[in-house]
Amino acid sequence: MRNYNDGYMKGIDILAAAVLAVGGLSWGAVGLFEVNPVEAVFGPMSPISRLIYVLFGLAAVYEIFFYRLIQRRWECKPWPGTAETRAA
């Protein structure tokens, strides 16, 4: 039986992954080049900058806590040789 909320949740999964990727690239730029793209565009610790940092954090928390559900929703298989495949 198909769950019709899967399409909506897959959209949230993609959005969270995209925000997480942008956040990772942003922090990579801070670490490698000492340039903070968020603060360069929106100003240092402006309300919009803070909102963007909160979105980065929420995307990371979503991906961490819902990792298993995301795997099931996308029907991902675990990597061969991992603890998950050895237990089965």
- One-letter identity of residue 27: W
pLDDT band at 15 (very low <50, low <70, confident <90, very high): very high
Q: What is the mean pLDDT of residues 71-77?
A: 77
- Domain locations in the chain as residue ranges: 6-77
Residue among 66, 67, 51, 65 at smallest CA distance from 19 = 51
pLDDT of residue 74: 83
What confidence category does residue 3 fall into, taking pLDDT thresholds of 50, 70 and 90? low
What secondary structure does DSSP assign to 17-78, as a single string? HHHHHHHHHHHHHHHHHS--HHHHHH-TT-HHHHHHHHHHHHHHHHHHHTHHHHHHHTTPPP
Per-residue pLDDT tens over the stretch 22-72:
999 999 999 999 999 999 999 999 999 999 999 999 999 999 999 988 888
C-alpha distance from residue 35 to each of 23, 40, 51, 57 (Å): 13, 8, 19, 19
Q: What is the pLDDT of residue 72?
A: 84
Res. 83: pLDDT tops 80: no
- Count Cβ atoms below 10 Å from residue 39 Cβ, excluding itself: 16
